[in-house]
């Protein structure tokens, strides 16, 4: 019988016990923090009707391309949830008498048929908190404070970048961008840190924007003054002024909470999802060991009322933590912290005496271990990788005869030839 070639579906992953132990620590830490802030637990179905997940109050055109769709025996069109936000908005729409303000948290699997990179999979776990019924920026400030509390417990130094969609939308209106393409322009601007200014401007031109409009956007992107609220304050556009007022209120809270050192205004932060109506934010590890955001969120006041079929606004703000990307960041952090006790590992190939002589000389400046147990070369190299030993010398008879050795950098793979007179 032919042996099955088992493999995981692309974008999914198994977590062995040691990995799962860390993941559960992250989950418990987040859940305990949520509870400390007065959040109540909630659970929603993974399966939803496609028209719910694809509604105009959902994720927008880009994320809908990543949605997994299927049908049941009754030929009903269904979709796997791609986040926990719209299923929560549906719960509130179905239960409009829930007391407000209402704080909920949910931790569960979501699915997106999107690009795969470090910390980004197609099946992953989100940990969400949402607050309904608070108009002021106090809700955003509390969620940002909660995030910093959680990451402090997880020993992760993070920066929260924040912005307001009203600033961008209002500015695009001033520049003459038609309302029907503003969301598309925002999606393009949201990619600027990934692809750069030139690529963004080229894509805006391909979108069909007038040259004068593209030039104004280019000036904005190159203007260093845009990193302050004062830049936006110069415009009389009511939507921009509304965004500035909200940002000033938020910054007042952040200052009083003493967390401004971990919070950074980023006027180019756009958050691709069209659902957001006001403040938006993304969280990143400060040292940049992983470039993906490890959490994000914002205000989406139109979603619940829209799902109810009316125009009533329900003040709603949420935050989402990506358990998988946090796990990836923490694993990289652990690898970084695992300092080796050895600088150089010498692997003798029938040169034990010569290797000991070389080690004696090198130990004047380095911590050196000689492989004396007779390990085969491959197993010895596995040990070097496993223990994060930075340099390896494989010493054979040819090197001894020619009075030199090759020092291999295990991180870069580069080798350097060093002279040594063995005289053994």
126 annotated as ligand-binding: yes
224 annotated as ligand-binding: no
CB of 221 closer than 8 Å to CB of 197: yes
Distance CA 354, CA 68 (A): 62
CB of 395 closer than 8 Å to CB of 368: no
Distance CA 333, CA 16 (A): 18
First to last CA, the chain: 57
Q: Which of 236, 254, 291, 306 is nearest to 51 (CA)?
A: 306
198 annotated as ligand-binding: no
Q: Which of 108, 110, 51 is nearest to 83 (CA)?
A: 110
128 annotated as ligand-binding: no
84 annotated as ligand-binding: yes
For residue 334, how far is the Cα from the chain centroid? 18
411 annotated as ligand-binding: no
52 annotated as ligand-binding: no
Numbered residues of the known binding site: 83-85, 112, 126, 130, 271
Tell me the binding residues for L-histidine.
83-85, 112, 126, 130, 271
């Amino acid at each position: 019988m032919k042996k099955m070639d088992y493999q995981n579906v692309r974008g999914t992953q198994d977590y062995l016990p040691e990995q799962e132990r860390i993941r559960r620590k992250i989950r418990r830490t987040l859940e305990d923090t949520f509870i400390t802030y007065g959040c109540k637990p909630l659970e929603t179905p993974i399966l939803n009707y496609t028209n719910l997940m694809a509604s105009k109050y959902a994720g927008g055109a880009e994320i809908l391309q990543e949605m997994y769709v299927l049908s049941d025996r009754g030929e009903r069109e269904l979709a796997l949830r791609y986040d926990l936000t719209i299923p929560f908005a549906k719960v509130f729409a179905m239960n409009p008498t829930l007391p407000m303000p209402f704080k909920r948290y949910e931790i569960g699997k979501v699915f997106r048929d999107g690009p795969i990179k470090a910390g980004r999979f197609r099946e992953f776990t989100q940990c969400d908190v949402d607050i309904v019924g608070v108009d002021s920026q106090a809700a955003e400030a509390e969620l940002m404070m909660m995030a910093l509390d959680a990451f402090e417990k997880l020993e992760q130094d993070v920066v929260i970048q924040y912005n307001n969609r009203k600033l961008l939308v209002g500015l695009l209106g001033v520049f003459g961008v038609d309302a029907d393409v503003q969301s598309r322009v925002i999606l393009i601007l949201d990619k600027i840190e990934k692809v750069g200014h030139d690529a963004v401007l080229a894509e805006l031109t391909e979108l069909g924007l007038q040259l004068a409009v593209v030039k104004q956007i280019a000036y904005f992107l190159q203007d260093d003054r845009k990193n302050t609220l004062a830049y936006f304050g110069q415009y009389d556009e009511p939507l921009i002024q509304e965004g500035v007022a909200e940002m000033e209120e938020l910054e007042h809270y952040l200052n009083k909470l003493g967390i401004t050192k971990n919070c950074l205004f980023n006027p180019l932060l756009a958050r691709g999802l069209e659902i957001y109506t006001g403040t938006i934010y993304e969280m990143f590890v400060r040292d940049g060991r992983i470039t993906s955001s490890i959490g994000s969120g914002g205000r989406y006041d139109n979603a619940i009322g829209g799902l109810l079929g009316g125009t009533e606004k329900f003040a709603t703000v949420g935050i989402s933590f990506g358990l998988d990307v946090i796990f990836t960041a923490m694993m990289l952090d652990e690898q970084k912290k695992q300092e080796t006790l050895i600088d150089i590992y010498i692997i003798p190939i029938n040169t034990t005496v010569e290797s000991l002589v070389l080690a004696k000389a090198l130990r004047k400046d380095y911590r050196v271990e000689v492989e004396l147990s007779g390990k085969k070369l491959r197993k010895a190299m596995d040990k070097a990788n496993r223990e994060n030993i930075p340099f390896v010398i494989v010493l054979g008879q040819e090197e001894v005869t020619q009075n030199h050795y090759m020092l291999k950098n295990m991180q870069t793979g580069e080798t350097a030839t060093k002279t040594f007179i063995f005289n053994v």
